[in-house]
Chains A and B, each alone.
Chain A
Amino acid sequence: MELIAEHPVLDLSYFKREERVWFTFDGVAMEGFKGAPIAAALHANGVRVYRETPNMKRPRGFFCAIGKCSSCFMVVDGIPNVRTCVTPLAAGMKVETQRGKGRALIAPIISE
């Protein structure tokens, strides 16, 4: 993984790399740290492209890291448009490249 192995100022414990968990990216098993953002885990695994824009099919990836810009939207456990830069990684998560606007798995609301 593309992780910082030594740092002149920060103690490595600062990065809170406490629990390694497995997740999948487009079906490929990857390792990351529980509780850190999904986007950071992907970046550490060398993944740069997180979604594809609806019309021009442009690749998009990490950008603002504060949940504001929508560049890192992905499909996580079937839910599209997840802000992966501020969503913590959990064991067994299924992370997928989002193509276009994504399709929600929410059942239609039936009036009572």
Chain B
Amino acid sequence: MEMKKADSPDERDFHLVDPIAVAIRTRRPDEEGLHDRFAPTDPSPALDVARHPRVARVLRNRKLQFMLILPNQIIFWLVIGIGLLGTVIPGLNFATAITWYLWFCLVFVMMVVVGRAWCAMCPFGGFGEWVQRHSFWNRTRSSIGLGLKMPESVAQYGFLSSVGAFLLLTWIEEYFNIAGPGNPASTSFMVLGIVGSALLFFLVFERRTFCRYVCPLTALIGSVGSMGSVAGFRTRDRDVCLSCQTKDCMRGDADGYGCPWYTWPGSSDSNATCGLCTECYKACPSDNIGLFVQKPLTSVVSPTRRRADVAWSVALLFGLVIYQQVNALGAFVRIDNWLNTHTHFPQYPNPIDYIAGIFGVALLMAAIAAGFEKVFASASPAPVNSPSFLTRTSSFRSYFLPLMYGIIPVVGADYFARQLPKLLLHLPRVVVSVGHLFGSGSTSSSLYNSSLIASNKGIIAVQVAVMVLGTLAAMWTSWKIAGRELVPLNGSRRAVQWSAAGLALVSGVVVAVLYIMMNAAN
């Protein structure tokens, strides 16, 4: 398409009609160190799938996200309704079957392979956003609600609010045995609670504040999803972005909303906060934003800016999944019962051992990082006593953050492996539960009682295989990260690389052994 240029011959003949431009004397943007800062994370131009006209046309379509959300929206409102009104047999109820035998596992597959694919089609945020924008897909100029910003006192902790929400939800899930699955109505109430919370946040705060800070899954997807092969929407030419006078990708224009996730494609260096909503792509006046794919694990290894919230999220989420493995062991059951007796708490899980277990693992990881700090003295950055949690720097953080990024594949594999038994044992029940809605499925059907893998040993083998893959990936990422960021001043690069990879290996082995032990306990 031919575009008018300010200095085209035709334009020169026109008289000055916009004197505002003469009075604008904005400074040039600071470009010092720009290349070094972003070169490691900038995807290759050849990996921009939006260069294909058909893909571009799909991405530019305002109905795209609506079409992604709609099927999930229908399914989850069915989940709410059928969970409350349908059969109380969890395996036969569509709500519990689709949620716990299929969806939760699929979410992990999507995050490991793509990143925030689920966020692009999430019915919870999608519903809130439809209400907030009072439109299913059109670009509206006003929004419903108060439009507040998340206070800095909360926002500075990034994903940690989400981790808190995930820990709380998981505790509730364990307490009421929702995902067991237990009573289908519990699943309905849980989904309703998430939809309601999302709606409340969308009406109080602006953009996707809920998805960015509060959604129970956002920390998990943001950290584990960095293993994914979709880099997200990024700039094609950073100079164009820096000199852009309107920043429509952030503010929005007639074609698209400003980024609901507070992410600027011009400075995005990982896929952690790109919700793949396509709004920036639609809004960019210069066609300077692409949808890039990347090699797996790139967003784990490459970012030059390590985020403290991601690191602590990884440590705490690792603690949570370890807790969920340990709680199947007999020794733990005795501890939990003992605590319940002495704290007059009615049943599993006792909050004390729940918190202690999760934070214990996180603190253990922090202690190991501190050990690295002691052993490998490096040229760590000068400490910055910033009042903001995210911008503070310290010698400890210079080890803790890279090491936690390094074990992301172990944590990701662990969460995925933990969902496998339900998937492998009960996936056929999803089909039966759909049939049951039409009066044809029953617990006595052969399909209901069939499994993808029925034997305990088979499931353990798959889980261990997943952990082997995750551990190998974590060893590789730890090796690469340590080689780049943790090289000691007076020591061997290899030593720190072996140590970091060793941490990943030990983490993976512990998890794998726990899978063997917990299945034996079962």
Partners in one complex: no
Give B contacts to A, CB under 8 Å. none
Give A contacts to B, CB under 8 Å. none
